[in-house]
Structures are given as C-alpha cells and as structure tokens.
Structure 1
Amino acid sequence: MSLRFWQRVRLAPGVTLNLSKSTASLSFGPRGAKYTVSPRGNRTTLGLPGTGLFYTVHDSKGAARPHTAARDKLTLGFFRRLVTPPEEKAFVDGLRALHESEEDEALSQLETADSLADATWMAGMIRLKRGAFAQARLHLETALAAGDELGVHFSKYDLAPLIDLPIAKDVFAHVSPTERGTRLALVEICEASEDSSDAMMHLDQLLEIAPDDPVVLLSFVQVASDMSGECDLTRRVVALSAGTQNHTPIDTGILLYRARALAAKGLPDAAIEVLTRAGRRRKGRPKRLLQQIRYDRALLYEEVGRKAQARREFEKLYADAPGFEGLAERLGLR
C-alpha cells in the first residue's frame, strides 16, 4: 500500500457524520454554502461547488439557525404517520435518531427500510464509520444501483446530509447521496479491503463525472501508485497531473505522486524539479508529507549521481525526523 498522508474514509475516527466524532448533524443550504445544526454548536460551510473543497467556521453560540429545525423536519405527526409507508417511516425515524446521536437505533431503523435508496445509503455510511467494510460496501453498491432514486427521499424532507472526508488540515471533501459521493466512499472501502482493481473502476467513473475535481485526482494517483508496474496507469498519472499547481495541500500530494510516475518512466531530473516545487510551500501541509517529499528527492539525487546533495538531504531529514523509516540505515547510523 502507498503511504497515506491524510485520514481518508476511515469514518472512524477520521471521517465523521457531518464533522463531529460523537454527534450527528444535518445540513441545509444552497450548493456551495451549508449551515449545519448540531448539539455542539452551528457552523457555516463555504466552498467551491464541484471542487470537493470547502472550509468551515464554527459558531458555538449558535446565533443563527435555519428557519426550520432539523428535528421538526423529521417529525411525523399522528395523521401523517397513518398514510406514510412503513419503510419511509423507518427512514425518517432513523434520521431523527441519528440527529439525536442514537446511532444504534438509527442503524436499526435505516436497515429496516432497505428498499429505499437513501436509507440504504445512510446505513452504508454508518457501517463505514464503524469499519464494517463488507456491509458498508453492500449497502452503498445497492444505493448506487438505484440510480435516480438516490437522494429522492432526502429531497422530499428537504434534508441535505453530508459526510465529510478529511483530506488535509481544514480541507474536506463533500460526500453526499450522489453518484460522485457514493463512488468516493466505495473507493475508500475497496482500498481498505485491498481491492485496488474495483477502486480503480470507481475512479475511472469519477474522472468522467468530475474530471477537474482535485479530490478525485488525488485518489486516482494514490490508487495508481498502489498498482505500480502498470505502464498505462503511470502514463495516465503523468497526463492527468500535468496541470497541477501547488496551491493547496491536495496539490502537494498530487505532485508527489506525479514525481514518482515521472521517475518510473525514467525521467529523474523532471521528477526532482516537481518535488522541489512541491516542497516550496510548507504552510498547511502535513509534516509527514513534506518529509516524504525530501526523502524521495534525496533518493533521486543518488540515482542521478549527485551523492553529496543526496547526503545533505538525508542528514537534514534525519535532524528533523530521526525515526523516518529506513533513514538511519541509509546514513550508516545503525
């Protein structure tokens, strides 16, 4: 498996139901700007529609609220219950339980409503949160197969659920009941199950749906790296990452894998240039990612015969991270 520099969809503990490890919440608002209500306080979410990137601003005082509280949307009156199909009632009751942090009850209700794509989708996300990958995969594949039915019941009750995938510090990917969100979650499940082939199948579909989504591109280059040795994938990594700038931590990660692909194609000098560019921006980048960039560049310096420069890089890295895997042996310190 390739190194991971972000918590990806290991929903427990890295990814949560709407940003809280212990409290579920529901979000409302237009595309690209969401307001989320939860017992721990409210927050505004602003982002770039279609990019999978956004940031959040927390409001512990809870000054502003949507016009209709989430609980009110999920309350069926006596007479409405009489005419609501049983599985739809279970769906609504499951979401209300989730909103009130009663996850076991929520899962029980949602799995009862297994003929509804939205209930199956949410049950899959809860199973994913618990690390039950086989059950999560079955639920999400079933929801995906429902096609246009996915999202129908959420829309009926005017709800916009979000699952958040942390990609880097303060940067998250939206996962909602859409084909894109569902396939992103399935990529993570396939990766957790070491099924790179099916992960790549979902990523191929995602690249058609959202070719400019940096989250999708990062996932693709990581999975392609796991399947090293396939020349076509290496070529695709080089081609798809060609326009990547170093604006965000996601870009920095993509550049690392671009450099590895260039090196695999016998272009070490080009790879060194990419790694140098990737390492120039440090603010907001995971420390482990920057260390890996330095290590990869030092290896390439050795490969092209710049041994003194390689040694300096290894020594600087050792001073910063003496426990970096394999570094002490390379420096002859063990």
Structure 2
Amino acid sequence: MSFRFWRRVQLFPGVSLNLSKSGASLSLGPRGAKYTIGSRGTRATVGLPGTGLFYSVQNPGQTHRTASHAPVPPAPLPVAVKDRLSLGFFQRLVTPADEQAFVAGLRALHSGDETEALAQLESASEQADAAWTAGLLRLKRHELEAAHVLLNSALQRQATLGQLYAKYEVNATTSFSVTPEVTAHIGPRERGTRLALAELHQLRDEHALAAEHLRLILVETSEDVVVKAALAELLLDVEPIPRANADQVVQLSAGLENETPVHAALLLYKARALRALGLDEVAVSTLTQAYRRKKDRPEALLRQIRYERALAYADVGRRGDSRRELSAIYAEDPGFEDVAERLGVR
C-alpha cells in the first residue's frame, strides 16, 4: 500500500499538469481515461464510472525503446503540495487544533516521516479525513485492531469524508491489491473505506465481514467491476469451493465482456467457478474470451488465464491442448505455479 498526494493544474480541457513529490507529469485525455507522461515512464489510467476507483497499466503497449521517444514532460517544479499545506501565523489563529494536526500529519507524511504523521493524524481522528488516512497507515503496517477502529470512525463520519482534502485542494489516493490480479486506487470516500475494511477483515480471516462490506458497495453501485472481482476472489478463497459460492460468482459475472484488465480478472474467476460447478466446456470458452484481448493486459494475469485454461482443457480430455498451454507457460516462466511438475520436467 502506498500513498500519493498531488495537485492537478488544468492547462486546458483534457490536459492537466500533475505536481507531486516525485516531480511533474502531464496527463492527456478526458476524465476517466488518462494517458500520463512522467519521469517514471508512461501509463494509462482508466477510471470506473461512479466508483471513485481506477487502475493503471504502466507503459501500455510500448517497449522501453518506444517509450523513450514520448514527448518530454516539463521540468520538475517546486513541490506544490507542501506549499498548499503551509499554515501562516494568522491562519493558525483561526484554524481548529484538530485541523492543524491533520495538516501537520499530511506534511509529515509527504516528507516521509510516517511516525510523526500517525501521531498528528490520530490526535485529529475526530476528523473523518484524519481517521481515514491514519487507518490506512495502520493497515499498511498490519496493525489491524488500530486500523479497524480508525477506518470505522471514518466510515461513521462518511458525510464529511474528503472535505478537508478538498479544502486544501489536495488529491489523495492509496493503492492496494484487492485481488492478486487487480490493484485499486482509492480516495477518501465510502467505497474506498469499505474496500480497505474488506481487506482488513480478509487479513483476519473474517470472510463474512469482508464480503458484507463489498456487498454494501454493490448495493450502491451494482456494476462496480473492481468490487465484483474482490468479492469473487473472496468467495473462491476456500477449498473445496462450495457450490453456493461458485453460483454467486457466476451471477456476479453474468453478461460480462472483456473490456479492461479488471474485467479479464473477473472472467478468470468466473471460469474457476464454472469448473467448480462441473461446467468445464463453458469454463474453456470463458477463459478463451478472457485471453482474446492481450493489449494492456498484465503479463501475470494473462499467464494465470492460460494456466487455468490448461487445467480446464485437461478436465474435458483435451490433453494435447493442455500440454501445449503448459509448455508455453513453462517457456515464459519455468517457476510458475506447478507447471514444471505437471509437465514432468522436475
């Protein structure tokens, strides 16, 4: 889990300059679909409408050589976030103490002093944004009890989540893996808080509580594919997979098209559920659909889809197809899963 703070300055419609601790980058494209050029290369960022969530694919469809010919971004500018969080003498006189502590906490976090940041933010935990930020820091440290208290506090004050960040014109995101294939980037909102709590409960092996948070998000945004993927992964994280769980995953992914890497991950989970229900031929078709689009898809995800298809091929008696799939995976990554053992090369 990593925090990122930045200010975004719109140059003209569809183009914005992002100022952060790591320097400057340029974002091109409409809201919800950005292409960013910065010191760490290029990346495509795609938002999921209405969710406050997005995922990123680094250097999509480019080799290192072609990426080096991308337009050069502006030279790094002074760090705007720290300037934004400077409280002058007279402003401090009229700013409540807990708000001052929130600002001090963000300044410390921006400077890399996580211990000081936690001390300041937790002293201001009556503020939803302070509790949210401190809770995620505790979750990052796997200090689960403290994280639970803070994130629940933020959730109880969800009506004010994001207000202090907005007041100081600072955007904040944190990212963590909601499934092995999907990394979500969340901000101080209800959905992001519930996703973090679901992660926390999963770490505690409290799967029912984790699933409850994910289902509550889906009540509000029924087509949130990131949350669907997280819930599907949770439902399948048990051996043997109960038929009721497998059936729920199939229902979650009904009518799904292979639009983005997140959709592809959910199709992978759908195929696992179909195999658990004994519907192996349909599982093969689903995995073929998931593998059909490769552009901008992470290699690890594509490899996992091929591995699952190899298992499904074996289940329906297509041994030659299964071995060809496993052999191709072995050639790319000899240590992947149990491919070597299945091929008999170890």
Cα distance in 1 for residues equivalent to 2:118 and 2:16: 25
Which amino acid is 2:217 matched to?
L
Higher normalized strand content (fraction of residues): 2
Q: Which runs of 5+ in 1 are unaligned?
A: 1-10, 19-24
| Deviation by residue 1:50-73 (Cα, 9 ceiling, x = unmatched) | 25225599946246x99xx43343
- Confirm whether residue 216 of structure 1 aligns to residue 227 of structure 2: yes
234-243 or 224-233, which deviates more: 224-233
- Confirm whether residue 61 of structure 1 aligns to residue 75 of structure 2: yes
Q: 1:314 to 1:152 in 2, by over 3 A?
A: closer
1:140 shift after superposition: 0.9
1:141 shift after superposition: 1.5
Cα distance in 2 for residues equivalent to 1:39 and 1:326: 42
Q: Relative contact order (alpha carbons < 8 A, sep ≥ 6): 1 or 2 greater?
A: 1
- Preserved CA contact (<8 Å) 1:128 1:136: yes
After superposition, residues 161-240 of structure 1 pair within 5 angstroms as 161-165=172-176, 173-227=184-238, 229-240=241-252
Cα distance in 1 for residues equivalent to 2:146 and 2:169: 27
1:113 shift after superposition: 1.1
Partner residue in 2 for 1:243: 255
Partner residue in 2 for 1:319: 331
DSSP-derived class of the 2:191 partner: helix
The normalised TM-score by structure 2 is 0.78
Cα distance in 1 for residues equivalent to 2:24 and 2:325: 45
Partner residue in 2 for 1:3: none
Q: 1:257 aligns with which of 260, 269, 294?
A: 269
- Confirm whether residue 294 of structure 1 aligns to residue 274 of structure 2: no
Two-structure CA RMSD over aligned residues (Å): 3.0
Q: 1:194 to 1:280 in 2, by over 3 A?
A: same
Q: 2:6 aligns with which of 26, 48, 54?
A: 26
- Preserved CA contact (<8 Å) 1:27 1:34: no
After superposition, residues 59-138 of structure 1 pair within 5 angstroms as 59=73, 61-62=75-76, 69-138=80-149
Q: 1:155 aligns with which of 166, 177, 180?
A: 166
1:28 shift after superposition: 4.3
Which amino acid is 1:277 matched to?
Q
Which amino acid is 1:41 matched to?
G
Partner residue in 1 for 2:39: none
The normalised TM-score by structure 1 is 0.80
Aligned identity (percent) is 43
Q: 2:152 aligns with which of 141, 150, 163?
A: 141
- Confirm whether residue 17 of structure 1 aligns to residue 34 of structure 2: no
